[in-house]
Amino acid sequence: MLKLIIEDDEKQVKVVRLLRDEVTIGRKEGNTIRLTERNVSRRHARLIQRPEGILLEDLGSYNGVKVNGERITDPLPISEGDKIVIGDYILMLKLDEQEGAVDPFEEMATVPVERVDLESVMGAPLPAATPAAASAPSISGQPVIGASSPALPSAVESSPVSAMDQGTQLIPAAEVAQLVLLTSNQAGTFYSMDRTPMIIGRTSENDIVIDHKSISRNHAKITFANGVYSVTDMQSANGVRINGEPYDNMSLRKGDTLDLGHVRLRFVAPGEKFDFVAETYGDGGEKSNKGIIIIVLVLVVALGIGFVAFGDKIFGGKSDTTKNATVSPVSVEQVLTKVEDFKKNRQWSDALGVIDEALSKGNLASGDRDKLTEEKSQLQKNLEQKAALDQVGTQVAAGQWTAAYQAMLAIPQGALYYADAQKQIETVRTSFLQSAVAQAKQDVLSKNCANIETLIKTANELVLPTDRLFVLTENQKACTAGGVQVAMNPPVDPMTPDPDMVPDMVPDMVPDMTPTMTPDMTPDMTPTMTPDMTPDMTPDMTPSNKPTNEEAAAMLSQAWAAKDSDCSKAVKLAQKSFAVTRNNKAVLIVGLCGCKEKNTGWAKWAYSRIASGQKKTIQSLCSKNGIELN
């Protein structure tokens, strides 16, 4: 039997026995091995055991998987001694020489990760187990089963039990934090987190019981490691939100609000003093006694003010002054100050709620309503862009590559999430290419050449450069061996004009005249181009001085870099590159610049040449700037 040795960035070494034929590694709950650092993707990699050996596969992770210093792109056979790097973790295979019978129930369980001494892993005798070692937490957040029950599963989905029943660690008194309920009929209740892990849920087997209809049976898990508390959603129905934003797993900081369903708690850090003051009420008509008292007091004050105003009216008092004093317009500065607090933490929904409340009151000062309406529009855009970014992972997992790419491309430069969108575009391309290459190899074996053509079409829609398409095109050639070979970017014979280029000829491209032509029979070569038509070959690109493939590729890179700052330069370079490479990315650059600069000629040139899957994108962008493309 094989073991997987795992070393983190603090040089702590742990080991996992590989009990299954397939072992998934990632940050999300549900993986066989959980590595909780943020530079590990939710589903990062997997190990597959086969009769001929073990394969390691990158599952489209953001930071990749390295084996012996090289990043892998395809499933790779690995053997004992290979060094695997995933985020901040180093993993190595080790043959377990003391192989014994495996309990069938253990093989069904989530694999526990045991803390070990590095020397023991490499072959030295293991020291005697101590209670502390037996209860050390696993990387996945699941506690390790003690030496007295080695064959029991670490977690059983059908029968959840409290963290205390699974083996927990006590937290030193100086590092004990608290959670305090801010809402529901139990508002003001403090929960001491004196051990790790602790499970929060609706039923009695949990460590922290919150009996509320919006709380799942086992809703969330609180863990403590290296001085940091973290919360993990246990696939609850209503999710976990921290400071208004949804998370599957996130560390907690002083003052964080934690929403479990419709129940809100506050994280009180170790040593922090916090005095609870009832500010909100539970849902479903559940109000605390303190809340009722406050309501009564407010009503009494309101009645008093009403009585004074009414008495002044009857007895000749200054009713207008009273009215002006009690009904003052909302200050837009105050509203925007509250909004800014939420914007700093990117809590768009909460910020929108503040503005909606102010707009609904109807007593805004003149001109302030327009300011809030404009701010609301921008907040809605941020919320939509954040939602689009959050959706990319799901779209990639479902193979919706083009939809994910176009959603990210729609986030404009200058937007708050533009840089994030550009990173996600590269993630989409990388994930697609890894998946497509693996599929293409299978298609070659099954002679399914049509599917490879589909993959190449999708690659064009994602504007993948030629050098990254090499593997796909090579597989296409292998699949069509003996027939017509299909290449992603077929080379262009400089002496054979492309059909698209015929109407774009310029005056210095005069064809050879036959010897029988007399001087007065020279054909009229005046171009029929309109001013808004840009040719594929600029005047300085005669067949003799066309750029080489390498030069054209460099031009394409320069054009992409220049498209945001100098469209004239970008278009010129892109068209020169396209004349040689026929790369769809060059067409996209011209189209984007055409839409941005409202240049109808550039836009139409790109629209007539761009891949069909991106025509709608160019058409939509240009339409916003008043350019209609048919």
Q: What's the pLDDT at 318? A: 43
pLDDT band at 263 (very low <50, low <70, confident <90, very high): very high
Q: What's the pLDDT at 228? A: 92
Segment 420-444, tens digit of pLDDT: 999 999 889 888 988 888 888 888 8
Three-state DSSP class for 302? helix
Any idea what the CATH number is for the domain that residue 198 is in? 2.60.200.20
Q: Are 305 and 326 in contact (CB under 8 A)?
A: yes
Q: Give the global pTM.
A: 0.32
Range with lowest mean pLDDT among 22-26, 77-81, 121-125, 441-445: 121-125
- Report the number of distinct structural domains present in the chain: 5
In a domain, 207, yes or no: yes
Domain identity same for 177 and 271: yes
Domain identity same for 246 and 191: yes
Domain identity same for 13 and 88: yes
Q: What's the pLDDT at 614? A: 77
In a domain, 312, yes or no: no
Domain identity same for 182 and 215: yes
Q: Per-residue pLDDT averaged across 13-19, rounded? A: 83
pLDDT band at 525 (very low <50, low <70, confident <90, very high): very low
Looking at mean pLDDT, say which of 291-305, 356-370, 498-512, 513-527 comes out highest. Answer: 356-370
Q: What's the pLDDT at 292? A: 58
In a domain, 608, yes or no: yes
Supply the angle between the helices 567-581 and 549-562 in degrees, to the nearest 10: 150
pLDDT of residue 408 exceeding 80? yes
In a domain, 18, yes or no: yes
Q: How far apart are CA 332 and CA 348, in angstroms?
A: 18
Q: How far apart are CA 336 and CA 375, in angstroms?
A: 9
Q: Distance between terminal CA atoms of the chain?
A: 64
Q: How far apart are CA 382 and CA 65, in angstroms?
A: 32
Domain identity same for 263 and 190: yes
In a domain, 517, yes or no: no
Q: How far apart are CA 84 and CA 7, in angstroms?
A: 10
Supply the angle between the helices 418-446 and 470-479 in degrees, to the nearest 10: 20
Domain that holds residue 474: 399-481
pLDDT of residue 258 exceeding 80? yes
Q: What's the pLDDT at 46? A: 92
**Contacts with 552 (C-beta within 8 Å, 6 or more apart), sequence order:** 576, 577, 579, 580, 581
What is the bridge-based pairing of β-strands 76-78 and 70-71?
unpaired
Domain identity same for 359 and 406: no
> Domain boundary residue among 256, 278, 300?
278
Three-state DSSP class for 130? coil
Residue 313: count other Cβ atoms within 10 Å of its Cβ: 14
Domain identity same for 266 and 179: yes
pLDDT of residue 523 exceeding 50? no
> Domain boundary residue among 263, 278, 293?
278
What is the bridge-based pairing of β-strands 220-225 and 198-201?
antiparallel
Segment 365-385, tens digit of pLDDT: 667 878 888 888 889 899 999
**DSSP states of 486-542:** --SS----TTS--GGGGGG--TT-PPPPPTT--GGG---------TT---SS-TT--
In a domain, 110, yes or no: no
Q: Per-residue pLDDT averaged across 92-108, rounded? A: 54
> Domain boundary residue among 44, 73, 95?
95
Long-range contacts of 502-505 (CB under 8 A, 24+ apart): 503/528, 503/529, 503/533, 504/529, 504/533, 504/535, 504/536, 504/537, 505/535, 505/537
Strand order in the sheet with 89-95: 70-71, 66-67, 84-86, 89-95, 2-7, 13-17, 114-115
Q: Are 7 and 100 in contact (CB under 8 A)?
A: no
Three-state DSSP class for 246? strand
Tracing tokens 């009990």 back to the chain, one arrives at 19
Segment 479-496, tens digit of pLDDT: 887 443 343 344 333 333
Tracing tokens 């870099």 back to the chain, one arrives at 561
Range with lowest mean pLDDT among 121-135, 222-236, 527-541: 121-135
Cβ-based burial of 586 (10 A; exposed 0-12, middle 13-18, buried ≥19): buried
- Give the closest residue to 50 by CA, choosing from 69, 23, 70: 23
Give bridge partners of residue 364 from the DSSP assignment: 330
Q: What's the pLDDT at 51? A: 78
Segment 131-175, tens digit of pLDDT: 333 333 333 333 332 333 333 333 333 334 444 444 678 899 889
Q: What's the pLDDT at 208? A: 92
Q: Per-residue pLDDT averaged across 249-256, rounded? A: 90
In a domain, 317, yes or no: no
Q: What's the pLDDT at 626? A: 87
Q: Per-residue pLDDT averaged across 116-124, rounded? A: 41
Domain identity same for 342 and 271: no
Scanning 327-417, the segments in alpha helix (DSSP H) are 332-344, 348-361, 368-397, 401-409
Q: What's the pLDDT at 13? A: 85
Q: How far apart are CA 405 and CA 384, in angstroms?
A: 15
Give bridge partners of residue 196 from the DSSP assignment: 169
In a domain, 506, yes or no: no
Q: What's the pLDDT at 624? A: 84
